[in-house]
A and B are shown apart, each in its own frame.
Chain A
Amino acid sequence: MRDLQGSSQPGAPPLERAVDLARLRSGDKGEWDRFVRRAGPVIYAAVLRRLAAAGAASEAEDVAQEVFARLCRPDRPLAGYDPERASLSTFLTVLSTSAAIDHLRRKRPADPIDAIPEHRLSVPASEPAERIKIPDGLLTARQKLVLTLLYDREMEVAEAAALLGVDAQTIRSTHHKAMLRLRAHFAGDAPAAPLVSQDEA
């Protein structure tokens, strides 16, 4: 596997510029063949990466075909892609990763209900504990996401920064501000005012 900007094809144009989207969507056979040649390695890499992690690398070719079948709608190939919103390679990578995940999920053997221990099906006798009231807007969407990445996913600051497309200092700052608000709220000494913007970071 190589980086698209790597040395395999120096100076190769991005996928968007290598493909004539209008001709592709009009059903032009030659353009579809060109698209398959250029997009195939991108789709295959995303699928292969995900399946290999689950020990199913040998199935990558079939899943890549499934992605092409999804893209190749008779009415308008790649109808769901908007070049103004994202690069074609990112769009294909998301779609391919999703297809690989779906494939792995389908492979999971179904648990027959008879095989599930009864205690797992029973409803807990105790009532759920009363939840603490959390005001809307205590944390911004970005703050919640940053804390999720750092604490639930156990990501490093640099990894979270790369995912969000910001620098590491921004992640630290967002984390710091979020923790200040949480401490203030749970300490109960001063209810935090709702935030209005998520872009404070």
Chain B
Amino acid sequence: MIGSEDDKQLWRKFAEARGSAPTPSKGRAGEGGDTASSPSRLGDRLAPQDEEAGKRASLDHPHLEVAAQGPSKDEDAAMLLAAWLDGRLEGAEREALETRLAADPDLLDLAVSASASRGLAAPWPKRGEARAAALVAASRPGWRLMAAAAAAVVLVALGGFEMGQAGSQLLSDDSETDLAAELGLVPETDLMETLL
């Protein structure tokens, strides 16, 4: 541990004077607590009473529906924290984030916890992979392909109809002639020839 007890007391005095007295320690590296903030809190800070009310809220699925609608504030905030963890945040952005981290123990807990998990991987059940994969459905054919297929179906249908109609007409003509001949109504010979 660096520094003396006097240094520690001086820091406490400074923190209290700033109105951000440190919360009781959460233990080594802040890994034990379960109250760290969502990265969305990198944005506007809630009033203490609102924060407490939010913690007590018993929502079952607070994110899924919202996340499905549009850009996610959580993702933007996670991006900022990830950039800081990767050492790619510079200047005013870095200073602003580090000021927030120093003042917000829950946010710092998230950063410490995420930092400790970086670079890790764990085998996860195959059923989990299948469920996650099913979140995106197989892509459907493009509209051009669909239009071409529909046009082809229409052409084949029309062609079939025309062919059927012509065949039907031919059959009908032949049938009428045969029937008349059978009934003896019209001789098979040419009419003009008969008259002459």
Q: Which residue on chain B has the smallest CB distance to residue A81?
A: B79
> Could you tell me if A151 and B3 are in contact, using CB atoms closer than 8 angstroms?
yes
- Given known A152-B23, A152-B25, contact A79–B75 (CB-CB < 8 A): yes
> Could you tell me if B13 and A132 are in contact, using CB atoms closer than 8 angstroms?
yes
> Could you tell me if B128 and A182 are in contact, using CB atoms closer than 8 angstroms?
no
Interface size class of B (residues with CB under 8 A): 35 or more
- Given known A45-B120, A153-B112, contact A141–B102 (CB-CB < 8 A): yes
Q: State in angstroms the CA–CA spacing of A69 and B26 once bound together.
A: 31
Q: State in angstroms the CA–CA spacing of A200 and B28 once bound together.
A: 28
Q: In this assembly, does A21 line the interface, its C-beta being within 8 Å of a C-beta of chain B?
A: no
A99 to chain B, nearest CB (A): 8
> Could you tell me if B124 and A69 are in contact, using CB atoms closer than 8 angstroms?
no
> Could you tell me if B22 and A152 are in contact, using CB atoms closer than 8 angstroms?
yes
Interface size class of A (residues with CB under 8 A): 35 or more
8 Å CB interface, A56-113 against B? 61, 64-66, 68-75, 77, 79-82, 85-87, 89-91, 93-99, 101-102, 104-106, 108, 110-111
4 A-B pairs with the lowest CB-CB distances in the bound complex, closest first: A80-B75, A86-B82, A104-B34, A44-B124
* B residues lining the A interface (CB < 8 Å): 1-3, 7-8, 10-19, 22-23, 25-32, 34-39, 55-64, 67-68, 70-72, 74-76, 78-79, 81-83, 85-89, 94-96, 98-99, 101-103, 105, 108-125, 127-129, 131-133, 135-139
